[in-house]
Structures are given as C-alpha cells and as structure tokens.
C-alpha cells in the first residue's frame, strides 16, 4: 500500500535537498519502506522516508517472478519485507548474444591452444548472459531510481543489476547486519533542514555547546557529572555573543548573561538526553547525569536481561526485541533510561561481541 503524497507545506524546500547526504546515495531501504514512501508534491519522482529526500535505492532480494521482453527483464524481488517490481534493461551485448552469431561455425585456423579472440568473446557474452538472466529463487542485487508506473505500481528502474552467487549466505548475512545499522544511524534520524536564516545563531550556539560537552565527556572519561561541572565550559559561548543594541539606543530588557548560560546548559543537556548520550538514573534535586557509554552497571544490567530472557522458549529463536529489553531495564534498573540510551548500550555490547543482532531490533546473547 502506497502512502498519500506529502503536503507541500510539510516538505523541505527542494533547494535544500542536496544538504542531505542520503539524497545523492543509493539508499539501502527495505522494500516495505520503498513501497510506502510518500511522493514529493514539488518534484514528481522524488520520495520521502522520514523527510529524507530519496530517488534511487539499492535492494538485495530473491527473485519470485520474472517476465522477459525484447528489450528488458522484469523481475519481482522479495527481501523478506515485501515484493517490488524491477525493470532491468538488456545491454547491447546481451541482445547480440540472443541472436544467431555470425562468428560461430568454423574453428580458428591458429595452432591448437593459441589465444582465440572469437572464442573468448563468446565466453564473455555467455558469462554476462548468465549474470543477467535469473531464474526464480536466485538472488538479485539491483540499484536504480524509484518510479511509479501508470498503473500506480511502484518499481525500480535498474541502472545496475546482477545475479549474486551466495552459496553460504555470506552476502545476505552481511546485508542483514548492515541495513539495520543504516536505519539507526541515518534513515530513522530525520534531518532538520532550515528554509530561512532566522535563529541560526541560537542553533549554532546549541550545536557548539553540544559538541563541547561531548568532547569533554570523551576526553576526560567522565562517568557522571552535575550541571555546575559543565557550566563553565559553555561560558565563552555566552560572552562571545554580539550585543544587539547600539550606543544611541536605550537598553532593552532581556535575560542576563547568567540566565542565558543556564538556559543554554539546560537545552544542551536535553539534547544529550534525547540522543541517549547521558541520562538521569534518579530524577531529584541533586541533578546527577550519568554518561551512558561509561555506565558499567547499565551495560551489565542490559547484558543480564538479554542473557536470561534469551533462554526462554519465547525468545529462543528470534531473540529479545529492543522494547522488551527496554521494559526490563526500566523495571530492574531505572525508569529514566530512554530508548536512545538503550540503543547506544546495545551497540556497545554488540561491538564487544557480548550480544548479537539476530533480526531488526532483536538481540540475543552468545
């Protein structure tokens, strides 16, 4: 089922699309999401996933149906989430191979075992035909722009396609490991593109403040801190802000430097909490923030939950879903752990080979 076109007011201006690196890349999306993407009102043929502008994709899946015409192959590709039609145009070399070859018939007059250009060219054509002509059940890699046909059917117009030889499923496993990471790190994080320059100074200050505190936490290997521990780090950002009132104007009432600093610290810490970099185990007047990546107790709690619950029959095959793990962490450790913080912990444990991702958002212990 395809989504309805996005309202023009909701779309980022087309002049800003190039600021999103995903726009110029072949997006490795699931077929389900390709079929459900909303189409742009401004520019037909451009689609949006989580407000990321997308027009070309990269898909790996099994051929479940095929049609052949004089100029193209039509393959139905199933990646486990859905089936999409892929229109794969034949190359001139492939078309030549289908007709009778004028070069065939007489063997070369050269000595036996000598290099035969005609025979080698024939082998090249046969190899290309074998890579491009797939049967049902074989694995296909296809890249190209997404189009909507006259029958309102969404399909991929292949710019590159080939059969993938994967006898031990190494390619499919690598794909299944990489794509969820791309979703977590890129596709599921909407890029905020500003259409005007108003508020850029405040946005810049907040961005700088966030990076300053992140660098401080990383360089000093901080495990926990309070607001006043990082407040002085952001003082230069307030001091360097230009004064808006000129000399011949009366002073305008506004927040003092201390108030601006407190507000900047508050907004910065909120951004870090939203990203999962820090969290508060207990919300009280003693505003202690814990650094997620350095909290060994949290890592141990998550690992124990996955290890224990993976042994249960319900989770033995597929592993524990991230929401199940989050519920367990909130019950046993802290109600204030966010999903973003948990995902950072899961990523760290997976990098240390403590756990493994078995499917999208599912984890099990070794």
**287 pLDDT band (50/70/90 cuts)?**
confident
Residues 304 and 331 in one domain: yes
Cα separation of 199 and 121, whole Å?
Answer: 63
Cα separation of 247 and 88, whole Å?
Answer: 69
- With respect to residue 111, please indicate whether it lies within any of the assigned structural domains: no
pLDDT per residue as tens digits for the range 126-156: 776 666 788 999 999 999 999 988 777 899 9
pLDDT of residue 145: 95
- With respect to residue 1, please indicate whether it lies within any of the assigned structural domains: no
The more confidently predicted of residues 219 and 195 is: 219
CATH of the domain at 319: 1.10.10.10
Nearest-Å Rg of the Cα atoms of the chain is 28
Residues 35 and 149 in one domain: yes
- With respect to residue 252, please indicate whether it lies within any of the assigned structural domains: no
Residues 93 and 149 in one domain: yes
- With respect to residue 245, please indicate whether it lies within any of the assigned structural domains: no
Residues 123 and 176 in one domain: yes
- The model carries a pTM of 0.49
**318 pLDDT band (50/70/90 cuts)?**
confident
In terms of residue numbers, what domain contains 234?
201-240+257-292
**Of 285, 288, 284, 259, nearest in space to 273 by CA:** 288
Half-sphere exposure of 23 (CA within 13 A, CB side): 18
Residues 229 and 355 in one domain: no
Residues 303 and 268 in one domain: no
CB atoms < 10 A from the CB of 30, how many?
22
Residues 69 and 158 in one domain: yes
Mean pLDDT calculated for residue range 119-123: 79
Query: Do 52 and 23 touch, CB atoms closer than 8 A?
Result: yes
Domains contained in the chain, number: 3
Residues 217 and 141 in one domain: no
pLDDT per residue as tens digits for the range 18-58: 888 899 899 999 999 999 999 988 888 899 998 899 999 99
Q: What is the 3-state secondary structure (H, E, C) of the chain?
A: CCCCCCCCCCCCCHHHHHHCHHHHCCECCCHHHHHHCEECCCCCCCEEECCEEECEEEEEEEEEEEEECCCEEEEEEECCCCEEEEEEECCHHHHHHHCCCCCCCCCCCCCCCCCCHHHHHHHHHHHHHHHHCCCCCCEEEEEEEEEECCCCCEEEEECEEEECCCCCCHHHHHHHHHHHHHHHHHHCCCCCCCCCCCCHHHHHHHHHHHHHHHHHHHHCCCCEEEHHHHHHHHHHHHHCCCCCCCCCCCCCCCCCHHHHHHHHHHHHHHHHHHHCCEECCCCCCCCEEEEHHHCHHHHHHHHHHHHHHHCCCCCCCCCEEHHHHHHHHHHHCCCCCCHHHHHHHHHHHHHCCCEEEEECCEEEEC
- With respect to residue 323, please indicate whether it lies within any of the assigned structural domains: yes
């Amino acid at each position: 089922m395809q989504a309805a076109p996005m309202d023009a007011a909701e779309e980022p201006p087309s002049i800003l699309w190039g600021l999103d690196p995903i726009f110029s890349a072949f997006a490795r999306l699931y077929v389900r999401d390709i079929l459900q993407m909303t189409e742009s009102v401004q520019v037909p043929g451009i689609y949006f996933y989580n407000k990321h502008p997308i027009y070309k994709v990269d898909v790996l899946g099994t051929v479940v149906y095929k049609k052949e015409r004089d100029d193209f192959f039509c393959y139905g590709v199933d990646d486990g989430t859905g089936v999409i039609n892929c229109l794969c145009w034949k190359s001139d070399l492939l078309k030549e191979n289908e007709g009778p070859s004028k070069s065939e018939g007489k063997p070369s007059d050269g000595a036996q075992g000598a290099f035969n250009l005609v025979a080698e060219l024939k082998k090249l054509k046969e190899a290309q035909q074998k890579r491009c002509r797939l049967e049902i059940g074989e694995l296909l890699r296809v890249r190209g722009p997404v189009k909507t046909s006259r029958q309102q059917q969404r399909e991929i117009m292949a710019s590159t396609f080939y059969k993938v030889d994967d006898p031990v499923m190494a390619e499919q496993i690598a794909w299944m490991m990489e794509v969820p990471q791309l979703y977590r790190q890129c596709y599921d994080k909407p890029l905020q593109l500003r259409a005007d320059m108003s508020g850029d100074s405040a946005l810049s200050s907040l961005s700088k403040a966030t990076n300053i505190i992140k660098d401080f936490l990383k360089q000093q290997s901080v495990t926990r801190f309070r607001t006043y521990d990082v407040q002085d780090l952001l003082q230069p950002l307030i001091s360097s802000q230009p004064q808006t009132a000129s000399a011949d104007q009366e002073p305008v009432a506004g927040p003092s430097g201390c108030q601006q600093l407190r507000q900047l610290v508050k907004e910065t810490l909120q951004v870090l909490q939203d990203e999962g970099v820090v969290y508060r185990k207990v919300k009280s007047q003693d505003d202690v923030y814990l650094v997620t990546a350095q909290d060994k107790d949290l890592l141990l709690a998550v690992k124990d939950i996955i290890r224990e619950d993976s042994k249960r029959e319900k989770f033995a095959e597929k592993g524990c879903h991230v929401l199940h793990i989050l519920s367990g962490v909130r019950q046993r450790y802290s109600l204030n752990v966010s999903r973003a913080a948990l995902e950072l912990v899961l990523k760290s444990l997976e990098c240390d080979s403590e756990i493994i991702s078995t499917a999208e958002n599912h984890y099990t212990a070794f």
